[in-house]
Amino acid sequence: MILKPDAMAHSKPHLASAEQQETLGFAPTLSDNWHSEAIELLGEKVSESRALRVAMDACMKCGACTDKCHYFLGTDDPNNMPVARQDLMRSVYQRHYTFTGKYLPWLVGAKELDEDMLDRWYTYFHQCSQCRRCSVYCPVGIDTSEVSMAGRDILASIGMGQKYVNQIIGKVNSKGNNLGLPGPALADTLLGLEEDVLEETGLPVRFPLDDSSAELLLVAPSADFFAEPHVDGLIGYAKVLHQAGISWTLSTHASEAANFGLFVGSEPHTKTMASRIRDAALQLGVKRLVFGECGHAWRVAQNFLPDWVDLDFLDAAYPRPQHIAEVTHELWKTGRIQFDPSKNAERTVTFHDSCNVARATTLGNTRNGHFTVPRDLLKASCDNFVEMSRATTHQSTFCCGGGGGLLTDELLELRIKGATPRMNALAQVVKEHQVTHMVAMCAICKSQFSTVFPEFDLSFDAVLSLHQVLGDALVMGSVR
């Protein structure tokens, strides 16, 4: 590999407007005191976060993380080595908060947060998708996503927020979903899906909205309501719940599983967006909370939501949020639903472990449930299932290249390069096993792959939602 210093220095997302910043409670633009404000925030964040303190103090520069980042592998830019990205913040922290950095900065590589460093922060903290692959290989557990999230929060707080993420947070706050889709439009969309499924199956499969008699609240990513291949996943959810006889509903108030507060690194915004889901559940009187196929929504649901909001209203049998895949897995294991794999006979599928499901949580209350649950379901519903290389799956999975709030057009070059490690692994399994489809259970992964596939010569059909494959193989209409 030939390193290309600053090869991606030109790649950065558009800045949020002053109005977008103020709407979210951030400084509209950089003030004359931006430097002191940023340094103060940096000190506060490190003092409040054990993970960030580890990142600032424990790095041994051993190199274990060097070639683990998909953006580094795709761009050859050494600034995208996890250790180098951490050093953008670590060097400033040392300059202001350590004795050696204050008085002998040259000895430890301490640096000042000048305008050039500020620009590098904005550039390279937005070339981290927070996938956490580097943390799997770090001998002391440093998680670069903690650094990039903290850096983004400092940047937004002093007046340098990211347009794409800020826009989406604003839409969720005002409309309840990333698309800014109003309630009547959502209701019309769901009615159309009911008609489509009735025509396909002859069965009255409902897509209920704001049903206060429901047992279960399903919170799906808003892409599931309208876009391919996402909508086929939502159809699969509905088919499974219909066949199992489970009463469920969607919510106008919380019609979005995604939580972009995580992408700006803002805990207050992440909490606010998570709280609206609890509010919707209480308003509807449901006893179960289930999340659809969205990676970072699942990370928030499992790793943060139970600590931030009171979930004591949930049924004792289901005291925590569930993933739709574990609901389906439980129904299949207990015989309440069945699959006919012959219905997927034309497909040979492989599975992409989405980062926030593979590395953040477990499914099904089993040690390796986040790996076994989707694979069990795919093997039950499709006879032709093959794995990509183990070095690129399970906990070692590569990011799709579009996560972490980077799924925006001005970052398309970065997204394509960041997808290269996953595409190389996919190309190998396509060649060896004539794979026709890759399955993923994350809305961002599906959107990213649908965009970047044409950039790679794979002789390959498409990416599918997990629940599209399951819904297509589901045996429907029999006695439950």
- What's the average model confidence in pLDDT over 154-182? 89
- What's the average model confidence in pLDDT over 207-234? 93
Confidence of residue 478 (pLDDT cuts 50, 70, 90): low
pLDDT of 186 above 70: yes
153: its two tokens: 């929060």
Burial of 49-73, coded b for 16+ CB within 10 Å and e otherwise, reads bebbebbbeebeeeebbbebbbbbb
- Strand, coil or helix: 350: strand
- The pLDDT of residue 368 is 53
CA distance 7 to 84: 14
In the chain, what percentage of residues exceed pLDDT 70? 97
Tell me the average pLDDT of the chain.
Answer: 93
pLDDT of 424 above 90: yes
- For 429-448, write each residue's pLDDT tens digit: 999 999 999 999 999 999 99
- The pLDDT of residue 155 is 98
Q: Which residue has the tokens 């558009």?
A: 14
- What's the average model confidence in pLDDT over 295-320? 88
Give, for 290, the enclosing helix (H) or strand (E).
strand 288-291
What are residue 59's phi and psi, to 5 degrees? Answer: -65, 130
- The pLDDT of residue 138 is 94
- The pLDDT of residue 461 is 72
Distances (CA, A) of 339 to 72, 344, 377: 41, 10, 9
338: its two tokens: 């069945």
- The pLDDT of residue 144 is 93
How large is the C-alpha radius of gyration of the chain?
A: 23
Instruction: Write the CATH number of the domain with boundaries 18-161.
Output: 1.10.1060
CA distance 6 to 332: 51
- For 462-472, write each residue's pLDDT tens digit: 899 999 999 99
- For 38-54, write each residue's pLDDT tens digit: 999 999 999 999 999 99
The residue type found at 466 is: L
- CA–chain centroid gap for 48, Å, is 24
For the chain, the farthest-separated pair of C-alpha atoms sits apart, in whole angstroms, at 77
CA distance 348 to 377: 14
What residues contact 430, with CB distance under 8 A and at least 6 apart? Answer: 458, 459, 460
DSSP-derived pairing of the beta strands 288-291 and 216-219: parallel
- Strand, coil or helix: 27: coil
CA distance 175 to 321: 23
Q: What angle do CA 337, 340, 344 make, to 5 degrees?
A: 125
Domain boundaries, the chain: 18-161, 171-473
- What's the average model confidence in pLDDT over 315-326? 93
- The pLDDT of residue 360 is 67
With contact defined as beta carbons under 8 Å apart, do 210 and 446 qualify? Answer: no
- What's the average model confidence in pLDDT over 246-252? 96
- The pLDDT of residue 459 is 75
- The pLDDT of residue 54 is 93
- The pLDDT of residue 359 is 81
Confidence of residue 222 (pLDDT cuts 50, 70, 90): confident
Is the sign of the CA dihedral 118, 123, 124, 126 positive or negative?
positive
Confidence of residue 396 (pLDDT cuts 50, 70, 90): very high
DSSP letters for 271-288: HHHHHHHHHHHHHHT-SE
Confidence of residue 171 (pLDDT cuts 50, 70, 90): confident
CA distance 431 to 437: 13
Residue that wins the pLDDT comparison between 369 and 173: 173
With contact defined as beta carbons under 8 Å apart, do 244 and 385 qualify? Answer: no
Q: How many Cβ atoms are within 10 Å of 78's Cβ, its own excluded? A: 17
- For 333-386, write each residue's pLDDT tens digit: 999 999 999 999 999 999 999 998 888 665 655 555 578 999 999 999 999 999
- What's the average model confidence in pLDDT over 231-248? 97
With contact defined as beta carbons under 8 Å apart, do 3 and 78 qualify? Answer: yes
Residues in a beta bridge with 385 = 349
DSSP-derived pairing of the beta strands 349-351 and 437-440: parallel
Burial of 439-468, coded b for 16+ CB within 10 Å and e otherwise, reads bbbbbbbbbbbebbbeebeeebeebbbbbb
131: its two tokens: 């996938």
Burial of 282-311, coded b for 16+ CB within 10 Å and e otherwise, reads eebebebbbbbbbbbbbbbbbebbeeebee
With contact defined as beta carbons under 8 Å apart, do 95 and 105 qualify? Answer: yes
CA distance 358 to 352: 10
- The pLDDT of residue 480 is 47
Distances (CA, A) of 52 to 89, 336, 372: 10, 46, 32
With contact defined as beta carbons under 8 Å apart, do 448 and 415 qualify? Answer: yes
pLDDT of 326 above 60: yes
Whether the link from the prior residue into 319 is cis, omega within 30° of 0, is no
Q: Which residue has the tokens 């996402």?
A: 230
Distances (CA, A) of 254 to 249, 251, 257, 400: 11, 5, 8, 26
- What's the average model confidence in pLDDT over 215-242? 93
- What's the average model confidence in pLDDT over 73-82? 97
